[in-house]
Amino acid sequence: MSCSASVVTAPSKSLVATAAHCLFDDSTRTWHTNWIFVPAYNKRAAPLGIWPARYITILNAYAPSSASSKNSNYDVGFVVVSPVNTRKIAQVTGSQGIKFNAPRNQLTYSAGYPGNIANGETMSSCTFQTTAPRCGPSGYVGQALRCSMTQGCSSGPWIVDFIGATGLGYINSDRVEPSSFHSSNEQLTESRFHILKKQIRVVSACSSNVLSSIGIILLNKYIFSHYQIKTMTLTAIHLVFTSIGLIICLQMNTFVRKKVSIITVLPLAISFCASVVFTNLSLEYNTIGTYQLFKVLITPAVALISWQYYKIKYSRMIIITLIALVIGVCTQTVNDVKLTLFGTIVASIGVISASLYQVWIGEHLKKLEMNSQQLLFYQAPLSAILLIPFIFYMEKFPSYRSHEEQQAALITVISSAIVAFVVNLSVYWIIKNTSTLTYNMISHMKTVSILVGGYLLFKENLNFKQFMGILLTLFSLFFYTFVKMDEQNQLPCKRQNTHPITTTV
């Protein structure tokens, strides 16, 4: 079944208005399940995303004890949809106001997906003055719109005071009568199942990223100490193997190549290369403590760039959590801070470029409507090419004393490159499906895991300062997770308000 709907203004920024018959089947007395909203749908394309229902409600007058007593004057329903990629639907689409007790016979704009036009695959619209209906069920007191659109658009919005330049106005209601709401427990259960599946996917991706990142850190340390291969050379090799892996995935039909201009992806590749080059310079011209301090600053820099330039708002609790996490990570990792002019400059450029790279991943994925494989398919080889001149200028090629040593180096580097493929894919997936800030939080979890793992497995020293830093970092990470789930209404133990009006508006 397909219907039309519209986003309406509400404090939750998650409210969609439609017809009650699009939510409830009065003949079987059951709720429609697997309900999703696809704004700006066009021939199977979903340019603004797919938004699953979290909570639905209709008027009791439309769904009384028997289907025969149904009152079509109350064929109205509302849906609260779940956030997608931490964004609420009104932040993506905008929203229509609702005008109550408006006079009849007004010039009205109607939009929807009628079955008689392109089989309901494209949006159609009509502007006309409303009149009295010529037909309808007994007792129907609604209005009529002299348009040629048929079944499929009856649940779409009728908008007065419509402004074509903005696409906004007010959904019209010519009368308000008292009626209580009837809510769907079945739909709520279905939505919880959808949320659970999403949480499992996110946890799986984050776990893959943490484990593969720890693995690649250990492999890279071994390569640097045994085989004379430097950071940028190894990074370029990783990117080449990632490109080869994506070509194999493309041939296996795990994703579809989406054509995009190289110029569009170039800023992303440049920011990645700049972060690699200047992070290495920071390590060379700064103490380890200073280098670690600037790496920690990437997290607040990401939040600042997202807020200032991409209008992503963070709640007070998220900001408090972010501050606590930065303090915790600094406490456990930062020692011996010494600042020099040149060292500070290169470290600052490294922070800015790394932050931009992470933010731009998310923005490019949204703007280009690509998945992680599609975007990485372009960025990986382009970044590898851009790194080549820096490798020739800044690094020396390794030399080996025997054929056996060369073979051992090759096997270890290939192993590292395979793990890097998993890391790169998981980074893009996490940023697309959560947020850049969440990815940063996960990155700090890796640091904690390495310190704790070194203490438990290799009996490395862990002083009181590091121990307190680890505790504060873990507390911040758990609290950040709690706050984000609370903001998205995804806490499994959170009580649903039993009164739909206060839940939805």
First-to-last C-alpha distance (Å) of the chain: 26
* Domain match, 37 and 167 both: yes
pLDDT in tens, 411-420: 999 999 999 9
- Which of 198, 210, 208, 213 lies closest to 442 in space, CA to CA? 210
| Residue 150: band (very low, low, confident or very high) from pLDDT cuts 50, 70, 90 | low
Q: Residue 73 has what DSSP assignment?
A: G
Question: Once rounded to an integer, what is the mean pLDDT over residues 195-216?
Answer: 83
* Res. 110 pLDDT band, cuts 50 70 90: confident
Judge if 17 and 53 occupy the same domain: yes
3-state secondary structure of 459: coil
- Nearest residue to 7 (alpha-carbon basis) of 59, 48, 58, 61: 48
Tokens 């639905």: give the residue: 56
Q: Is residue 499 part of a domain?
A: no
Ranked by mean pLDDT, the top range of 168-182, 325-339, 453-467 is 325-339
pLDDT tens digits for range 57-83:
887 777 654 545 566 777 888 999 988
At residue 32, the pLDDT reads 80
Q: Is residue 316 part of a domain?
A: yes
Instruction: Tell whether 280 is covered by a domain.
Output: yes
CA triplet 37, 42, 46: central angle to 5 degrees? 50
Would you say residue 128 has pLDDT above 80? Answer: no
User: Do residues 102 and 144 share a domain?
Assistant: yes
Angstrom distance (rounded) from CA 117 to CA 491 = 42
Token pair listed for 485:
């789930």
- Measured from the Cβ of residue 301, the count of other Cβ atoms closer than 10 Å reads 20
Confidence band of 136 (pLDDT split at 50, 70, 90): low
Does residue 492 lie within any of the structural domains? no
Helices (H), 252-296: 262-285, 288-296
Query: Looking at residue 74, which CATH number applies to its domain?
Result: 2.40.10.10
Q: Which residue has the higher pLDDT, 504 or 375?
A: 375
Domain boundary among 149, 183, 217: 183
> Which H or E run contains 456?
helix 436-458
Residues 174 and 248 in one domain: no
Give the pLDDT confidence score for residue 69 in this predicted structure: 54
Q: Confirm if 485 and 340 have CB atoms less than 8 A apart.
A: no
pLDDT band at 352 (very low <50, low <70, confident <90, very high): very high
Residues 128 and 35 in one domain: yes
Does the pLDDT at position 154 exceed 80?
Answer: no
Whether residue 405 is contained in a domain is answered as yes
Write down the pLDDT at residue 94: 87
Per-residue model confidence (pLDDT) at position 165: 65
**Domain total in the chain:** 2
Residues 232, 238, 242: CA angle, nearest 5 degrees: 145
Question: Quick one: pLDDT at residue 434?
Answer: 81
DSSP class per residue in 410-447? HHHHHHHHHHHHHHHHHHHHHHHHS-HHHHHHHHHHHH
Q: What is the mean pLDDT of the chain?
A: 81
In the prediction, which pLDDT does 134 show? 63
| Cβ atoms of residues 438 and 302 within 8 Å | no
Helices (runs of H) and strands (runs of E) counted in the chain = 13, 13
Q: Which residue has the higher pLDDT, 290 or 454?
A: 290
Greater model confidence, 41 or 270: 270
Report which of 298, 350, 345, 347 is spatially closest to residue 325, judged by C-alpha positions. 298
From residue 93, alpha-carbon distances to 38, 49, 153, 468, 492 in Å are 11, 10, 19, 44, 28
Domain-located, residue 199: no
Domain shared by 342 and 471, yes or no: yes
Q: What is the pLDDT of residue 499?
A: 32
User: What does the pLDDT read at residue 504?
Assistant: 27
Whether the pLDDT of residue 384 is over 60: the answer is yes
Whether residue 215 sits in one domain with residue 309: yes
Model confidence at 255, pLDDT cuts 50, 70, 90, reads confident
d(C-alpha 91, C-alpha 356), whole Å: 22
Element spanning 15, H or E: strand 15-18
Strongest mean pLDDT among 137-146, 200-209, 237-246: 237-246
The rounded distance, in Å, linking the Cα atoms of 491 and 486 is 6
Return the pLDDT at 502: 26
Residue 265 domain boundaries = 205-487
| Secondary structure letter of residue 68 according to DSSP | G
**pTM exceeds 0.85 for this model:** no
3-state helix/strand/coil string of 96-142: EEEECCCCCCCEEEEEECCCCCHHHCCCEEEEEECECCCCCCCCCCC
Query: Tokens representing 319?
Result: 């900001």
Q: Is 210 within the bounds of a domain?
A: yes
Q: Residue 267's pLDDT band (boundaries 50, 70, 90)?
A: very high
CB 142 within 8 A of CB 116: no
Least confident of 15-19, 231-235, 329-333, 389-393: 329-333
- In this prediction, residue 189 carries a pLDDT of 44
Residue 204's contacts (CB-CB under 8 Å, 6 or more residues apart) are: none
User: pLDDT tens across 2-52, in order?
Assistant: 788 889 988 889 999 988 888 887 777 788 878 889 898 887 788 888 899
Are residues 176 and 222 part of one domain?
no
The arithmetic mean of pLDDT across residues 393-413, rounded, is: 88
- Pairwise pLDDT comparison (17 vs 192), residue with the higher score: 17
Amino acid type, 26: D
What integer pLDDT is reported at residue 493 of this predicted model?
39
- Give the pLDDT mean for 180-193: 48
| Structural domain includes residue 502 | no
Please give the residue that has the higher pLDDT: either 487 or 91: 91
Gap between the Cα atoms of 105 and 128, Å rounded: 9
Range of lowest pLDDT (160-174, 327-341, 420-434, 440-454): 160-174
In angstroms, the CA 450 to CA 456 distance is 10
Within this chain, do residues 286 and 420 fall inside the same structural domain, yes or no?
A: yes
332 secondary structure, DSSP code:
H
Q: 296 and 345: one domain?
A: yes
- 150 and 240 assigned to the same domain: no
pLDDT of 240 above 80:
yes
- Give the pLDDT confidence score for residue 304 in this predicted structure: 94
Kindly report the number of other CB atoms within 10 A of residue 109's CB atom: 20
Spatial CA neighbour of 398 closest among 261, 140, 282, 225: 225
Q: Are residues 133 and 269 in the same domain?
A: no
Does 466 score more than 90 pLDDT?
no
Q: Which of 182-196, 222-236, 386-400 is predicted least confidently?
A: 182-196
Q: How far apart are CA 205 and CA 371, in angstroms?
A: 14
